[in-house]
C-alpha cells in the first residue's frame, strides 16, 4: 500500500483565516472558501495528496494526516 493512500486531508477551521493561499495552490481544485471565508473540501476525490496546501498554509489549518491522526 502506498503511503499517500494512508493519508487524509484534515482541516481546522478555527485556525483558518481565509487567506485563500491553499485554494490558489491546489492543482486539482479540491479546496474552496465557504460563505464564512473558511476553507472547505469541495472535491476530495480529485485530491492527489501532493501536500501543497499544507506546505503553503501560514496558519497550519490544513494538513495531510493518518487515518487515526486527528
Q: Which of 61, 45, 65, 49 is nearest to 11 (CA)?
A: 61
Query: Minimal CA–CA distance to 62: which of 24, 35, 45, 2?
Result: 24
The H or E element spanning position 54 is helix 52-56
Tell which wins on pLDDT, 70 or 36: 36
Q: What is the pTM of this model?
A: 0.83
* pLDDT tens-digit series, residues 5-53: 678 999 999 999 999 999 999 999 999 999 999 999 999 999 999 999 9
Query: In order of start, what are the domains of the chain with their CATH numbers?
Result: 3-62 (3.30.70.20)
Among residues 9, 12, 38, 14, which one has the least CA distance to residue 26?
A: 9
Amino acid at each position: 500500500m502506498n503511503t499517500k493512500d494512508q493519508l487524509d486531508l484534515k482541516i481546522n477551521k478555527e485556525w483558518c483565516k481565509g487567506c485563500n493561499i491553499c485554494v490558489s495552490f491546489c492543482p486539482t481544485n479540491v479546496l474552496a472558501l465557504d460563505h464564512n471565508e473558511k476553507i472547505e473540501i469541495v472535491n476530495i476525490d480529485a485530491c492527489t495528496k501532493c501536500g501543497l496546501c499544507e506546505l503553503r498554509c501560514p496558519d497550519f489549518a490544513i494538513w495531510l494526516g493518518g487515518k487515526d491522526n486527528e
